[in-house]
Amino acid sequence: VVIFVAVLFSPTLLGLFDPIEANVPIHVLHAGLAAVGLGVGYMARGSTSSVVTR
């Protein structure tokens, strides 16, 4: 999410991507990665794990 917002704020990511500016596919890619990451985190938070003890 941080990278997506940073690229929206500065298309060259504050000079790191100086020769190449961010475009729509890059924004979509980062938004998708953020959504997947948040979804995985939400699912992992809600899952219960059992520990086998002897």
- What's the pLDDT tens digit per position in 3-15? 777 777 776 666 6
Of 37, 4, 5, 7, the residue nearest 22 (C-alpha): 7
- pLDDT of the residue at 27: 76
pTM for the full predicted model: 0.53
Alpha-carbon distance 48 to 45, whole Å? 8
- pLDDT of the residue at 10: 72
Judge contact between 47 and 14, C-beta under 8 A. Answer: no
- What's the pLDDT tens digit per position in 16-49? 666 766 677 877 887 888 899 989 988 888 766 6
